[in-house]
Amino acid sequence: MAMLSLRSPSSMPLISSSVSHICSKPFFQLPSSSNSIASVPLTKLKSIYTSVLPIFRPRLVSARAATGATDSVIDYREDIGEILGDVSIFTASGQRVQFSDLWDQNDGIAAVVLLRHFGCVCCWELAAALKEAKPRFDAAGVKLIAVGVGTPDKARILATRLPFPVESLYADPERKAYDVLGLYYGLGRTFFNPASKKVFSRFKEIREAAKNYTIEATPEDRSSVLQQGGTFVFRGKKLLYGRKDEGTGDHPSLDDVLNVCCKTAVA
């Protein structure tokens, strides 16, 4: 049976039709008396999220690089760092840069966190956690790089309203880095993956991060909302840690990421 790629030209009319139907109306309706997701009671948020994300029976998945770097690179070519280095993205101010320009390609250590998109509430929560952890990464000599799907003006919305250090934020409107790293994409991953259930344990953090949230940060290309993210640690061009988000909100522990960075720094 022939397989149809989700991103092939022949499949785009079908995807566009599906996405247009989904994105033509809100995924959920906030109570009429609330003008912000941060003002919605925790129990109400849980019921809303449950309505759009059915609870599935947990399944066993391979926990690549959950606690170390050894088994994190088995899905990637040895030269993946060099390939990623040729990918161009944008600073939040709109300047085009290449990944190879973002950290020392000989021996520099970088933690590269690819968010889903700038209009994702869970990504605002992750960005808030990254901002809080940034001094620890800085102290360890690690360059923290956050990349999101969307144009630079969307990145600036998150940077201004969250807020987030603009010098650490980059925009990848064409999802080039996401494609190179083979990050997951699709309706099932975005809305119905069992891994997304972990957001239930972080509603307090999500509400806090969403106090100044605005849907205006969502990319104009609505198909971008189906993109998942991932987290990677490089030393120079060598990939030491790689983790793909299985579903929306499936972020790794930043303590685990920092531990990998620290072990790398003293190696």
Helix intervals (H) in the chain: 12-23, 42-52, 80-85, 121-139, 152-161, 176-180, 187-191, 203-209, 254-266
pLDDT digit string, tens, across residues 133-164: 999 999 999 999 999 999 999 999 999 999 99
Q: Looking at 3-7, 180-184, 220-224, which range is the least confident one?
A: 3-7
Tell me the helix, strand and coil percentages in the chain, rounded to 5.
45, 15, 40
pLDDT at residue 233 greater than cutoff 50: yes
| Measured distance CA(164)–CA(146) in Å, rounded | 10
Q: Is the pLDDT of residue 199 over 60?
A: yes
Distances (CA, A) of 193 to 145, 228, 246: 26, 11, 7
Give the residue with greater pLDDT, 128 vs 197. 128
pLDDT tens-digit map of 158-191: 999 999 999 999 999 999 999 999 999 999 998 8
Residue 54 has pLDDT above 80, yes or no: no
Give this prediction's pTM: 0.74
> How many angstroms separate the Cα of 21 from the Cα of each of 24, 25, 27, 203, 261?
5, 8, 11, 27, 42
pLDDT higher for 132 or 266? 132
- Segment 249-261, tens digit of pLDDT: 999 999 999 999 9
Query: Do residues 138 and 111 touch, judged by C-beta distance below 8 A?
Result: no
What number of other Cβ atoms are within 10 A of residue 242's Cβ? 23
CA distance 5 to 223: 14
The pLDDT, as a whole number, for residue 197 is: 86
**What is the 8-class DSSP label of residue 206?**
H
Q: Is the pLDDT of residue 55 over 60?
A: no
Distance CA 196, CA 246 (A): 8
In whole numbers, what is the pLDDT of the chain averaged over residues? Answer: 80
Q: What is the pLDDT of residue 141?
A: 96
Cα 158 to Cα 85: distance, rounded to the nearest angstrom: 25
Neighbours of 197 (CB within 10 A): 18
**Residue 189 near residue 158 (C-beta atoms within 8 A):** no
Provide the 8-state DSSP code for 185: B
Residue that the structure tokens 């599906």 belong to:
18
Phi, psi for residue 141 in degrees, rounded to 5: 75, 25
The confidence score (pLDDT) of residue 39 equals 54
Q: What pLDDT was estimated at residue 264?
A: 78
Residue 198: pLDDT band (50, 70, 90) is confident
Which position has the higher pLDDT, 12 or 95? 95
d(CA 156, CA 93): 7
Higher per-residue pLDDT: 175 or 49: 175
Whether the per-residue pLDDT at 23 is higher than 90: the answer is: no
